[in-house]
Amino acid sequence: KRVAILISGGGSNMLRLVEDMAGDHPARPVLVASNDPTAAGLRRAADLGIETAAVDHRPFGKDRAAFEAALQARLIQSAPDIVCLAGFMRILTAPFVDGWRGRMLNIHPSLLPKYRGLNTHGRAIAAGDAEAGCTVHEVTAELDDGPILGQARVPILPDDDAETLAARVLVQEHRLYPAVLRRFAAGCTDPLTLT
Ligand code: GRF
């Protein structure tokens, strides 16, 4: 299977996916693309010999559809079977997402369905939750709402702030996403609970 990974920043999740695919794996990375030409993950992917692309969203202003048309054009050049959103910070419209139905994954730093959207860690702490975590799900038109493919949990500690909790969750993201992609690329969509 051919995998394209979309990033917006450092790409730590992208790196773990790429590293895992370097071994015996049903998938291989064919493109790492970002909406931000300055994303550090682009250079990290290029250093690993992976095709990269930047489709800057800024020239398109509020014309989301025009940006997505440019992104789609570049994506289909690489003919991916699977698209992984990994720290990709643009909301994708329903028509775009529908075009990748069943083939687009995302990792979200909360135990969905709790805390869709942003500032997930601060909200979990403010709510007094005992635990937090991350979720890999299929991307659908509703934000952070598609079928769940995997989750990993961490405790919230009394002296946690959003930063310390984010760091603890990120460690689990780096375990969960590769495990889920490996299964998904092999055709398995049974939800995975990492312990
Ligand atoms: C992190 O906040 C992570 O929780 C979320 O996207 C952000 C950046 O991730 N998935 P990455 O290091 O760019 O993969």
pLDDT recorded at residue 67: 98
Q: Is residue 4 within 8 Å of residue 82, measured between CB atoms?
A: yes
Chain mean position to CA 5: 8
**Each residue of 3-27: pLDDT tens digit?**
999 999 999 999 999 999 999 999 9
Q: Is the pLDDT of residue 45 over 90?
A: yes
Which of 5, 7, 12 maximizes ligand 1 atoms within 8 Å of its Cβ, making it the mutation to test the pocket?
A: 12
**Each residue of 49-96: pLDDT tens digit?**
999 999 999 999 999 999 999 999 999 999 999 999 999 999 999 999
Residue 11 — left, alpha, or beta (φ > 0 → left; ψ -120 to 50 → alpha)?
Answer: left
pLDDT recorded at residue 50: 98
Binding site feature residues: 11-13, 64, 89-92, 106
Instruction: Kindly tell me the burial class for residue 130, based on how many C-beta atoms sit within 10 Å of its own C-beta (0-12, 13-18, 19 or more).
Output: exposed
Q: Is the pLDDT of residue 195 over 90?
A: no
- The strand pairing partners of 2, in sequence order, are 28
Question: Which residues have C-beta atoms less than 6 Å from ligand 1?
Answer: 7, 9-14, 86-87, 107, 109, 170, 173
